[in-house]
Chain A
Amino acid sequence: MRRLFPEYLMKLFFLAVLPLLTLLTLTVVLAGNVAAAQTIAVVVHPDVDIEQLNKDEVKSIFLSEGNSSFKNIIVFDRTDFALKGDFYRHVAGMSMNRLRAYWAKKVFTGRGRPPKTVALPEHMALMERTSNLMTYVLANEVPEGFKVVYQFEVEE
């Protein structure tokens, strides 16, 4: 029986065109779900003697880049993957994958370890009792008395 389309055209359609169309459709659908902006705040314990930081300073502290002015600060990461992703994408221009590569260099050359990652309840308790702590939270989660030293908006 004569085929309507040559075999190579069928292969091209099923192996390349169809997956690409599916990907494109998903991208359009997902892009349509963009919601309002939310604010992420970098906060410090009230005892920390810092009032304001810029983006580079926040990056330097969270990536432990060696700036001796902030060496006594302890930072914590969040288990909230989306929040952590938004935070590092904004302050360091890094995806989570690239962030892992950054820390892999440090860990496997003995130059540092990534911040501890903690879930929200533990996070709150740590914030209360760690006097040299710095972390990031949604703006509406800032504990009473804590200082916001840097904040930024991201698309939710």
Chain B
Amino acid sequence: MKIQITNRFGKAGKRLFRLVLLSALLVMSLPVLAMDYYLSGFGTLGVSCFDNEYADFRKDDIPKGPGRSNDCTAKLDSKLGVQLDLGLSDELEAALQVTAIHNADDNFIPQVTLANLRWQASDDLNFRFGRMQNPNFLYSEYRNVSYAQPWARPPGEVYNVLPTFLHDGVEALYLYQYDDWLLEFHMGIAQSDFKYPVSNSSDKLDVDIQTSYLNVTARKGAWTFKAGVAPSRSDASSATVDALLTSLRAAGETVLANDLEIKDSPYTLYSAGVQYDDANWLISAEIATRPTEGFVYHPTAAYLSVAKRIGLWTPYVTLAVLNGTQDDAYNTLAPSDPLYASVEQLLSSTHDVERKSLSLGVARELGEQSTLKVQVDFIQPDKNSFGDYINHHPGDYDFADPRLDTLFTVNVDFVF
């Protein structure tokens, strides 16, 4: 249920307006509903330093990171979220979650990260309407709740394969017990729009996605298996992309312009993951791929993470890899064509992002509700790759043979 607001407020204004509106609705309901409620929250205080002076480390859709913009920043992982769950009846519950987190507009204005009604139709069937977190991966429904994750942040290689973090729609969860297995079928349809920074460019894409999804999760003892498919359609454009497409069409390159354009273009996300979580070990592995059309790339990514619980300490290691391939749009212009370089730059910025990373870290429990995490990420972009970073320095970033970069993070995660 998307609330439409006039454009003159801008994205941040829209978010604030939605937040105020939804909060007001819930607060107005409180006297009537003075009943079952549950207030909870989560947060992270931390600092991260990145040793690449010619590009910023990218996290999600945040347009700035540590690195070229600032050696160190407290903005990368720091956040504060509050959630109110209201029991309206035995079957009906409302949830509102507001999170102040570094966002796509480069500020910390709180966003409504959950606002939905949940209808428990039966013991095993649950419907949700409103704003939800994208549920495609093992940790994506609580990707901001770092306290409940083994790392400082989920591996970006996999978790940015589909950079849709919030969406508005309707979904159903169905639980089915089979012998010792508990199966969860999670399906829905949703819409989202967001801005996404393009690698090696100051350009941001305006993305609009209509998605449907089915995720099946099977749990037995310490084991969790999850597989998902999300057939979707998207629009993605920016002033730079639009200008290039207009120039191509004016030059008679209509076929190439149509190949590059992302307008109601189909793509499907396929994902699979496994987790083993017991008193001694927490092991997670996921793989995802997203064949697509238009000028954006087809990413395929995977990670394996192993954490060993030793009393209050949990050391962990994560290996991740991101590959990008070109599915649909090729630069068919002759190198002498005046538009050749622009098309090449657009394709390169969105396709040449391959990288590998090794993360070493340790988490230390601090009492009942906070955890200290120290993590070092060694990131090696492939040759001829922008490494999925952002804000590259034109000319100085070594695209042909990128160096090994190090991201150092100290965070305290907490819940209340």
Contacts of B38 in A (CB 8 A): 107, 113
Q: Would you call A126 an interface residue if the criterion is a C-beta within 8 Å of the partner chain's C-beta atoms?
A: no
Q: How far is the CB of B307 from chain A (nearest CB, A)?
A: 12
- Segment of A43-51, A61-69, A133-141 engaged in the interface with chain B: A61-69
The digit string for B40-77, where 1 denotes a CB below 8 A from any CB of A, is 10100000000000000000000000000000000000
Contacts of B114 in A (CB 8 A): 108, 110
How many residues of chain B get a CB closer than 8 Å to chain A's CBs? 36
Closest residue on chain A to residue B132 by CB atoms: A110
- Segment of B192-200, B256-264, B285-293, B362-370 engaged in the interface with chain A: B362-370
With A66-B182, A97-B369, A100-B369 known as contacts, the answer to whether A71 contacts B42 (CB < 8 A) is no
Contact among A96, A97, A100, A109 for B141, CB-based, below 8 A? A109
Whether the Cβ atoms of A66 and B177 lie closer than 8 Å is: yes
Chain B, range 205-256, C-beta contacts under 8 Å to A: 219
Report the number of A-B residue pairs with Cβ-Cβ less than 8 Å.
Answer: 73
Whether the Cβ atoms of B182 and A65 lie closer than 8 Å is: yes
With A107-B38, A108-B42 known as contacts, the answer to whether A93 contacts B279 (CB < 8 A) is yes
The digit string for A89-115, where 1 denotes a CB below 8 A from any CB of B, is 000011111101110110111100100
Contacts of A109 in B (CB 8 A): 133, 141-142
Please report whether the interface of chain A is mostly helix, strand, loop or mixed according to DSSP.
Answer: helix
Q: Would you call B331 an interface residue if the criterion is a C-beta within 8 Å of the partner chain's C-beta atoms?
A: no
Whether the Cβ atoms of A97 and B368 lie closer than 8 Å is: yes
Closest residue on chain A to residue B113 by CB atoms: A108
Q: Would you call B201 an interface residue if the criterion is a C-beta within 8 Å of the partner chain's C-beta atoms?
A: no
Contacts of A65 in B (CB 8 A): 182, 219
Contact among B128, B147, B279, B312 for A101, CB-based, below 8 A? B147
- Segment of B14-22, B116-124, B162-170, B400-408 engaged in the interface with chain A: B116-124
Whether the Cβ atoms of B368 and A108 lie closer than 8 Å is: no
Whether the Cβ atoms of B123 and A96 lie closer than 8 Å is: no
Whether the Cβ atoms of A107 and B85 lie closer than 8 Å is: yes
Contacts of B141 in A (CB 8 A): 108-109
Contacts of A110 in B (CB 8 A): 85, 93, 95, 114, 116, 118, 128
Rounded to whole angstroms, the CA-CA distance of A14 and B175 in the bound complex is: 56
Contacts of A107 in B (CB 8 A): 38, 40, 83, 85
Whether the Cβ atoms of B123 and A71 lie closer than 8 Å is: yes
With A104-B415, A109-B141 given, name 16 new contacts (CB 8 A).
Answer: A66-B177, A68-B123, A68-B124, A68-B177, A81-B368, A93-B278, A94-B279, A95-B312, A97-B371, A104-B40, A104-B142, A105-B145, A108-B81, A108-B97, A110-B93, A110-B118
For this complex, 9 residue pairs linking A to B, each with C-beta atoms less than 8 Å apart, are: A65-B182, A66-B182, A100-B369, A102-B148, A104-B142, A107-B40, A107-B85, A110-B114, A113-B85
